[in-house]
Structure 1
């Protein structure tokens, strides 16, 4: 059994998923959860060396993430975005504190958080947990913790960390660098709903 599996939720990333998987697969088991893509995301990921789970319909990032958590058998899970923003070389930095039994969840803290709405959610989260980037999609965590998480929110910004903390997880972060890629940076409408969930955790959990 592989010690680490990288879970990559992906939706219509046929043009980018192949090189990402090939890079990751040099050192890690890779599980791509194709979230109902209408392009060749699944076949390209499989050809590049990933195990692929295909969701029959597009159900969103959280549903894909949870499906990946259920399928993994490795003791350590790394979540990795399919857009190519993260660097596989940083994975070892994230998993080391877990391997050394110091942390249960390690966040890859970006140098900058692009969206104002995400920065707001992050600052609110920091009222309870002192981390710099609670909305990162690049994380390492124990499988046992991943299976406990309900993730019943609009997105993972803030609440992934808050729920993990509510379940008693020890949490830390390591700085990472991101690669410049072309992707839309429109308004993240789900952050309006996510604000309510973050406040719920701050006030009641």
Structure 2
């Protein structure tokens, strides 16, 4: 385990070397990234004399703010766990083991060191009051119970850090980080730390203006869409009736050894698990893989692993032969979908089954497809031809969810929305029972999706 310590510094000539000494004294393998934010008091001259091999120094051409410096440091970290360390002496590096323990144990994605639960120097009442107000705002906005969002001491798993899209340049980055973490529903722990708060005479830099900047970032992160694909997955997770409807359609075709390509956050996977079957849940996204590991942590029949279906060695490392592959809302995200189908064919055991669900009707392609990084939507004959060409027999091929197609046309083509409406999703999910009965009774000539049930032929056509 390697630790990366990011130290933003601005005019800390009296403390920076002592901070470095304390950080280096922590008995954990580490790299130290120092980002000087245009210091004018001699700090840069001291940093140029630092020669340790595990220290990297980045110099901003001018003063850009704490947030900008932290972001620059994050860009170059290589450790497994990342910690932010201020360049003053308010925080104690010898408490790193406390800060990172829950991450090492696999219980947390991020850990905050809270100044209000541990030993601390008595400091400014108005700073304390401002912190309480910001914590209250965060807890209301994100339905949580955080006690110290403005703490410097935050520790992250590296793959979690890579999912953040940070933009704040000043002290507002503390609120932006907090907003994005809770928006992504990550596992955040707090642990008590010691705190030796400075006075303004001793060099404290945060001001009353930063309260309003932090409040701005909390509100902005709460109501903006950070990642359309991720946001869509979490909204679809709430569509219990719709997800069960999809599951009921694939259930009759499940074998005993099942591979799901692009499992995401287990919207369908959670219905699959049963005591008489074995599953491999896969994704290319590290955050989703960790989510899956936590969701199925105690189930020995569920294997979680990364898988890129375009890779020539995509079958390497599979724990067993696969008789069923599920590919639900994945193929449209792959540029070379024919190669994906070819590799799916290679992965399946003889006479194995492929259950495929893709967006239907290129005429529906619109703003939502663009935001979701869809390369295409499929027409019935086009999909059938591609599947057959790669060595499958198409047992069933039909349109699914005609009401969703009408909603998609309204939102993606006419209104040109960039995200799915939560209210519309809620209303639609309430209609699924009636919709499913209609579609089981009548053959509908269009739909939001196409569903294909296929069987692998003995040899692939060329």
TM-score by length of 2: 0.41
Q: Which moved more, 1:22-31 or 1:47-56?
A: 47-56
Asked if the contact 1:106–1:139 (Cα under 8 Å) also holds between the matched residues in 2, the reply is: yes
1:83-122 residue pairs with structure 2 within 5 A? 83-111=88-116, 114=124, 115=127, 116-122=129-135
Give 4+ residue runs of structure 1 displaced > 6 Å after superposition.
none
Deviation at 1:203, TM superposition (A): 4.8
| CA distance in structure 2 between the partners assigned to 1:66 and 1:187 by the alignment | 21
Structure 2 match to 1:9? 8
Q: 1:107 to 1:169 in 2, by over 3 A?
A: same
Do 2:183 and 2:222's aligned partners in 1 also have CA atoms closer than 8 Å? no
Structure 1 residue 187, shift from structure 2 partner: 3.3
Aligned counterpart, 1:21: 20
In 1, are the aligned partners of 2:7 and 2:34 still within 8 Å (CA)? Answer: yes
For 2:138 and 2:33, the matched residues in 1 are separated by 29
Partners of 1:7 and 1:79 within 8 A in 2:
yes
The residue that corresponds to 1:41 in the other structure is 43
1:193 and 2:213 correspond: yes
Within the alignment, does 1:79 sit opposite 2:84 as a pair? yes
Equivalent-residue separation in structure 2 for 1:156 and 1:52 (angstroms): 21
Is the aligned partner of 1:142 residue 2:157? yes
Q: How many aligned positions are there? A: 204
Pairwise CA RMSD of aligned residues? 2.3
In structure 2, C-alpha distance between the alignment counterparts of 1:65 and 1:186, rounded to whole Å? 16
Contact 1:18–1:48 (Cα < 8 Å) also in 2: no
> Is residue 121–residue 157 contact of structure 1 (8 Å, CA) maintained in 2?
no
> Who wins on radius of gyration, i.e. which is larger?
2
On the 8 A contact 1:125/1:202 being kept in 2, the answer is no
Would the aligned equivalents of 1:35 and 1:58 in 2 still touch at CA under 8 Å?
yes
CA distance in 2, matches of 1:48, 1:10: 17
Q: CA deviation at 1:58?
A: 1.1
C-alpha separation in 2, matches of 1:69 and 1:16: 22
Of residues 133, 148, 155, the one that matches 1:133 is: 148
1:60 aligns with 2:65: yes
Distance 1:136 1:40, change over 3 A: same
Q: Which sections of structure 1, spanning at least 5 residues, go unmatched?
A: none
Match of 1:31 among 25, 29, 33: 33
CA shift, 1:123, in A, is 1.2
* Alpha-carbon offset, residue 71 of structure 1: 0.8
1:167 to 181, 184, 200: 184
Deviation at 1:150, TM superposition (A): 2.1
Following TM superposition, by how much is the alpha carbon of 1:161 offset from its aligned partner in structure 2, in angstroms? 1.5
Per-residue deviation, residues 73-98 of structure 1 (Å, max 9, x unmatched): 01110001111100011111111111
CA distance in 1 between counterparts of 2:131 and 2:139 reads 12
| CA distance in structure 2 between the aligned counterparts of 1:77 and 1:186, rounded to whole angstroms | 23
Pick 1 or 2: higher relative contact order, CA cutoff 8 A, min separation 6: 1
Structure 1's 184 and 69: CA in aligned 2 closer, same or farther, altered over 3 A? closer
CA contact (8 A) 2:35 2:60 kept: yes
